[in-house]
Amino acid sequence: MSLGRAPGRLLQTPAARGAPPGRRELNFGGILPAAVTPIDEEERFQSAAFEALLERLYEGGADGIYVSGNTGEGLAQPLEDREKLIEAAVRSSPPGKIVIAHVGAWRTADAIRLARHASRLGVAAVSSLPPVGEYGFREVKQYYSDLAAAATAPVFVYYYPAFSQAISSLNALEELLEIPNIAGIKFTGFDLYTLSLVKQTGAVVFNGHDEVLVAGLLMGADGGIGSFYNLVPELFVELYEKAAGGDWPAARAVQARINELIHLTLEFPMLPAIKKMLGWSGIDCGPCFRPRRQLSREEEQRLAAALAASSFAGASFARPG
């Protein structure tokens, strides 16, 4: 099995409905970090830090970026800041890179506003979690239908059963994929058998759980989107390239190294720990949005000690300043 370096399905974006030129045919696939959102103590978006983060991720070989999602704490941000974030992502991404903007929101009207804004900017695609709340599948399907009709960029459903049970079966995923302008799935689940069946529909599928990227690729995923890509994008790119070349033992070995970092980090609150390590590496991403807490001083010390005892001891993010 060979994935190729630029895999995925060639999608025709609906240019006739106003999509910007140059974004009409895109290969979706590869490694897309789900970028954290740098903020200050007043929870204001910090564009300079975000641009520095993107520069580092692209230097690490990332094929694109996924912004304002769960890792990016998009649901906690004011709409105006989310629009600024998407603008910065498009502005800071080199030609040929894939920018996917997560536009999920508490209100359908807000999601549509973000989707239209992102489409006008020329993003490769928009994506959304299911609407937040106790909604049935019929309501969720209507939400995605409204979003797909409003966007001129292709739409990716963000399937995350730990977040929402409204999409709970292969039949439901297939029904959503039948909606015009729905291009694929960000599949953040561990049922990789279902992932493989979704892929058989011809949809683009991104693996969402970092710790099983190699397995997701083996089961047919076109690429991956994840949180720990913020810290070690080059390792995820290496894993992807090993898999693309059919060297699965080497790909599994890279996954094992990645999982060492994941395992030690998950002893702490994940997002505060990732942001703290990015700060140690020289990119101050600030705190997380309240009510998510920061690491305590004792937790910072334990995290630093765990990193020092790991194979990542020499990494820039493992050295507190």
| Active site (catalytic) residues | 158, 186
Which amino acid is it at 169?
S
User: In the chain, helix, strand, coil percent, each to 5?
Assistant: 45, 15, 40
- Mark residue 286 as left, alpha or beta (left: phi above 0; alpha: psi -120 to 50; beta: remaining): left
Tokens representing 90?
Answer: 């498009």
Which amino acid is it at 51?
E
The most distant pair of C-alpha atoms in the chain lies apart, rounded to whole Å, by 56
78 vs 22: CA distance, rounded Å: 30
Tokens representing 104?
Answer: 């999920």
Between the CA of residue 283 and those of 3, 50, 170, 185, 278, what are the distances in Å? 33, 8, 40, 31, 5
Residue 125, helix vs strand vs coil? strand
Task: For helices 248-265 and 270-280, give the axis angle rounded to 10 degrees.
Answer: 100
Nearby residues of 15 by Cβ (< 8 Å), 6 or more positions away: 21, 23, 24, 152
Tokens representing 101?
Answer: 């903007």
**In this structure, is the dihedral angle defined by the CA atoms of residues 55, 259, 217 and 69, taken in order, positive or negative?**
negative
120: number of Cβ within 10 Å: 14
280 vs 290: CA distance, rounded Å: 21
Residue entry with tokens 């399907």: 141
